[in-house]
Structure 1
Amino acid sequence: MMFWYGHPGGGWGWIAMSIGMILFWALVITALVLLFRTLSRPHEHAHAPAPPTPPAPTPEQILAERFARSEIDEEEYQRRLSVLRSLGPRTPPAA
């Protein structure tokens, strides 16, 4: 059988052309699915507020934590606590 311009149409040409067409449409469908999924996904990072940062612990809280971890004994805890309380509340330095 003769086809275009006198070239014979072999079986391998039809197989290669069929596989090429299947791969082409698979690529097009995959690209469309990925594009749809990307556009339909909510953008959480763009509008989500930053989580609040916890307040810095006070010197008394740090001292209590050290006492709770047994880093200091009760006598040292009481002594340092009395020193902290005698100094009064301090304002944090301006950043």
Structure 2
Amino acid sequence: MFWYGHDLSGWGWFAMSASMILFWTLVITLGVLLFRALARQEGTDAPKTGPSSPAPTTAEQLLGERFARGEIDEDEYHRRLTVLHAGRGPSPSKN
């Protein structure tokens, strides 16, 4: 049964140590994954602290972004901004 006596050889100790490290690594990893999965499920039921959707962008903000990107020049920016403030923009026809 035991050809080299009644104890483990060097490779036996190495295999036993490696398997013990692997076992505890798997146990700890599974525990962490289970904890994260349960925390994620609880987080979906709880109310969100931040805004769920970004605030709607106003026409002035869109115009400013277009000016900043260089899509329109300064004259066109001021002309369109004046139109927005005066309320003379195109309005949809009402039936």
CA deviations on 1:24-58 (whole Å, 9 max, x unpaired) are 111110000001111112217x6175731221221
Flag as ranges the 4+ runs of structure 1 deviating above 4 A. Answer: none
Aligned pair count reads 78
Task: Give the match's secondary structure for 1:43.
Answer: helix
Identity %: 21
> 1:24 maps to what in 2?
19
TM-score of the aligned structures, taking structure 1 as reference length: 0.55
Q: What is the root-mean-square deviation of aligned Cα atoms in Å? A: 3.7
> 1:33 maps to what in 2?
28
Aligned-partner Cα distance in 1 for 2:61–2:10: 77
1:43 corresponds, among 40, 45, 48, to 40
Gap regions ≥5 residues in structure 1:
91-95
Gap regions ≥5 residues in structure 2:
none
